[in-house]
Amino acid sequence: MKTQLKLPWILAFTAIMLLSGNQISQGQQAENPIIFADVPDISIVRVNDTYYMSSTTMHMSPGVPIMKSKDLTNWQIVNYAYSTLGDNDALNLNNGKNAYGRGSWASCIRYHNNTFYVSTFSSTTGKTYIWSTKDIEKGPWKEISFSPSFHDHTLVFDDDGRIYLIYGNKRLTLVELKADLTGVKEGGINQVIIEDSSAPSGPQSSLGEGSQLFRFNGKYYLFNITWPRGGMRTVVVHRADNITGPWEGKLVFQDLGVAQGGMVDTPDGRWFAYLFRDFGSVGRIPYIVPMKWEDGWPVIGVNDKVPETLDLPPSKGLVPGVVASDEFKRKKGEPLLPLVWQWNHNPDNTLWSLTARKGFLRLTTGRTDTLFVQARNTLTQRTTGPTCSGSTVIDVTNMKEGDFAGLALLQRKFGLVGVKFSNGVKSVVMVNAQTGKPVEAESIPLSQKKAFLKAECDFTDRRDVANFFYSLDGKTWKPIGSQLKMEYSMPHFMGYRFGLFNYATLTPGGYVDFDWFRVKL
């Protein structure tokens, strides 16, 4: 009798263990996208067993974030190539001007002679930039800039010691640089090498850009993105024996619109393509796709598709490497702002502080503005998919009449929840700008000095909706206003970001204190 009872239990236990083993095995694989957040235009270089990645944050300051990984799936921000790109009205949000969707675009990261190089370009300043450093995580950086602005270029250190940029859209040009990188070399190579980089993708494409050049087995390989009419974002690769050509091109990958990037190998000899995908209002999100070589061409994908899982270590989460909560408490020697934070345009550093009131971020108004997106000193970090929330608590004791401060979801069609001081009354207000114009959706009088604020985002299957909440005690949350239908807007060209803001509409000089910001994925 006892033996008969044991057998079903043994079989059940075995089944449970097998199922559990399968779950563990699946859980030990990485998943695409590797970062479910806005990290576009990625460029990756491997140095020994460490990968470094640069990407685009355009109008944000500091800019050109540098991320580090040991396994291609777990990344953390370790530096920025620059603190400020330039000093003009557009980058400073002055005189009604802005640099939304501009600033600096696609960067290129390279490692040559024990030195890291990061290059980019800007239509806002009309310049090409090259930063260099021996220590990419700590710096310092040396900056070189020159005109003109070379669009979507790739920096090339050739085997013969000459240095080039390949740039352009569809019609790609090779230009030789001076040995010290300070500009175009007079009398050097300057020629079109590919007349139409989009041609291998078929029907007429409006894109043939995002150049990234690599060497493999003695050949040059140039990656570009195209977008065939009626199709999707596509990877085209050209190859040549000589950098000046002739070049032959081939469509090498077309799935889910995952495109633009390049290739990287692992220390154990495997190859991967790194690319990104437009994914609605969360932004442009990075993918890693297995790659192999056949007949001297890169073959990307698993059966020509983007795999959901990868034979790479699993993600440990985006916190705190890419996004992070912040209690605004700093130990001696720590930076005032962790690297997950970026200012919306160049900040006025006289108007924010983490020392004026210990353990708080203070934002002080310095001028009057009529619209949130034109206000300076909004402190931002990325939203993340598939869902996330950001919350904060704000002390509004020292606001002035006409001030508005709180928590934002930043894009052209923004959403705000905050405290407004109007006609002698402070109120918790939700503003919805999904029509393109801000509408005050709800206002609730506030009789205490603190307000707790929260925004929740849902990017699942591109739902792209956000809801806003407030609380008087940080425990009981109440919805406020209307649901924001988020939209990735080309003028901003960036996924939605959480933002802490304070601006004046009547009299400058008021301030608010944020006690903490907490993100939940």
Question: Which residues pair with residue 128 across a beta bridge?
Answer: 121, 146
Does any domain span residue 10?
Answer: no
Closest to 428 in 3D by CA, of 411, 400, 410, 452: 452
Is-contact 175 189, C-beta < 8 A? yes
- In angstroms, rounded to a whole number, what is the distance separating the alpha carbons of residues 382 and 65? 12
Catalogue the E-assigned strands of 383-414. 387-395, 403-410
Strand order in the sheet with 342-344: 60-61, 342-344, 379-382, 497-504, 403-410, 415-422, 425-432, 439-445
Is-contact 335 329, C-beta < 8 A? no
Is-contact 496 282, C-beta < 8 A? yes
Is-contact 502 364, C-beta < 8 A? yes
Does any domain span residue 330?
Answer: no
Q: How confident is the model at residue 295 (pLDDT cuts 50, 70, 90)?
A: very high
Is the whole model's pTM more than 0.85, yes or no?
A: yes
pLDDT in the model for residue 203: 80
Phi then psi for residue 292, to 5 deg, are -140, 175
- Location of structure tokens 């983007």: 306
pLDDT in the model for residue 14: 40
State the total domains in the chain: 2
For residue 330, the number of C-alpha atoms closer than 13 Å in the C-beta half-sphere is 16
Percent of the residues in the chain that have a pLDDT greater than 70, as a whole number: 95
Asked whether residue 134 falls in the same domain as residue 252, the answer is yes
Asked whether residue 305 falls in the same domain as residue 412, the answer is no
Does any domain span residue 3?
Answer: no
Average pLDDT over residues 476-481: 98
Residue 328 has pLDDT above 90, yes or no: yes
Asked whether residue 431 falls in the same domain as residue 382, the answer is yes
Strand order in the sheet with 115-122: 108-112, 115-122, 127-133, 142-146
Omega within 30 of 0 (cis) for the link into 386: yes
Stated as kind and residue range, the H or E segment containing 11 is helix 2-27
Q: How confident is the model at residue 7 (pLDDT cuts 50, 70, 90)?
A: very low
Handedness of CA 252, 258, 263, 269 (dihedral sign): negative
Asked whether residue 393 falls in the same domain as residue 264, the answer is no
- In angstroms, rounded to a whole number, what is the distance separating the alpha carbons of residues 462 and 191? 43
Does any domain span residue 116?
Answer: yes
Asked whether residue 234 falls in the same domain as residue 356, the answer is no
CATH of the domain at 462: 2.60.120.200
Asked whether residue 81 falls in the same domain as residue 222, the answer is yes
Q: What is the pLDDT of residues 33-43, one digit of tens each?
A: 999 999 999 99
Omega within 30 of 0 (cis) for the link into 445: no
Last residue of a domain, one of 288, 310, 332: 310
Average pLDDT over residues 79-91: 97
pLDDT in the model for residue 202: 85
Q: What is the pLDDT of residues 147-178, one digit of tens each?
A: 999 999 999 999 999 999 999 999 999 999 99
Q: What is the pLDDT of residues 53-76, one digit of tens each?
A: 999 999 999 999 999 999 999 999
Q: How confident is the model at residue 27 (pLDDT cuts 50, 70, 90)?
A: low
Residue 5 has pLDDT above 70, yes or no: no
Asked whether residue 266 falls in the same domain as residue 177, the answer is yes
The CA angle 12-13-18, to the nearest 5 degrees, is 100
Find the distance separating the first CA and the last CA of the chain, reported in whole Å: 51
The CA angle 409-376-504, to the nearest 5 degrees, is 90
Last residue of a domain, one of 286, 310, 334: 310
Asked whether residue 247 falls in the same domain as residue 306, the answer is yes
Asked whether residue 368 falls in the same domain as residue 271, the answer is no
Mean pLDDT taken over the chain: 94
Does any domain span residue 319?
Answer: no
Average pLDDT over residues 286-313: 98
Q: From the CB of residue 13, how many other CB atoms can be counted at a distance below 10 Å? A: 10
- Domain of residue 259 covers 32-310
- In angstroms, rounded to a whole number, what is the distance separating the alpha carbons of residues 406 and 404? 7
Residue 22 has pLDDT above 80, yes or no: no
- In angstroms, rounded to a whole number, what is the distance separating the alpha carbons of residues 322 and 424? 40
Amino acid present at 496: Y
For residue 500, the number of C-alpha atoms closer than 13 Å in the C-beta half-sphere is 30
Q: Mind spelling out the 3-state secondary structure of 257-269?
A: CCEEEEEEECCCC
Residue 16 has pLDDT above 60, yes or no: no
